[in-house]
Amino acid sequence: MKKWLSWFSILCILIVMSGCSFSSNPSAGKNDQELAKQIKELAESGKTLTSEELSLKSTKDEILQQWGDPENQEASYLDYTQKGAQFTFDPNGVNKIFCYDPSLKSLTLSKLEKTFGSPAEELDTGGDYIIKYEGKNAQLYFGFDMSLQGQVEDPNVNYYYIEK
């Protein structure tokens, strides 16, 4: 009986240990690909990861009513730093929504190109390198910090924005 109990205990320990060695989360690459696809889907509906129900069709009054006063505000933008979102305006309403979600740091230039293909346009603003993808309902831009240029082969996404 003691021998059987010993074997049973060892078997239980092995099962527990083997369960700990397997992650219930999908691989990081798959998560990144899913994140990129989610960004694209949201962009097609005029939204970002952080804009919640607000979109490119929202008005300034709707944004203020739903989210309250922003941390920073000018005539041309509302900046909700705590929510990781910024809305910019032109005379016709919201024209851009910026997203600063921390999960973006896991995306790199090569991962985006693998998911979306080659960008339609590449822009160098001096401080940021931006790539653009054309969408049916919105343009999608990803910004990379270029202060690390030469130090990093595959830069991480700092932010992204959508534009009408």
Does residue 22 sit within a domain? Answer: no
Give every residue of the chain whose pLDDT is below 50, as ranges.
Answer: 2-29
Does residue 46 sit within a domain? Answer: yes
Tell me: the pLDDT tens digits for 68-110? 999 999 999 999 999 999 999 998 899 999 999 999 999 999 9
Does residue 44 sit within a domain? Answer: yes
pLDDT value of residue 19: 40
Q: How many helices and strands (H and E) does the chain possess?
A: 4, 8
pLDDT value of residue 124: 84
Does residue 25 sit within a domain? Answer: no
Residue 151's domain spans which residues?
Answer: 31-163
Does residue 24 sit within a domain? Answer: no
pLDDT value of residue 148: 60
Our count of domains for the chain comes to 1
Does residue 8 sit within a domain? Answer: no
**Model pTM score:** 0.78
Helix (H, G, I), strand (E, B) or coil at 102: helix
Does residue 15 sit within a domain? Answer: no
Residues facing 154 on adjacent strands: none
Tokens of 88: 């910019």
Q: Residue 87: CB partners within 8 Å, gap ≥ 6?
A: 51, 54, 58, 60, 63, 77, 78, 80, 94, 96, 97, 98
Does residue 91 sit within a domain? Answer: yes
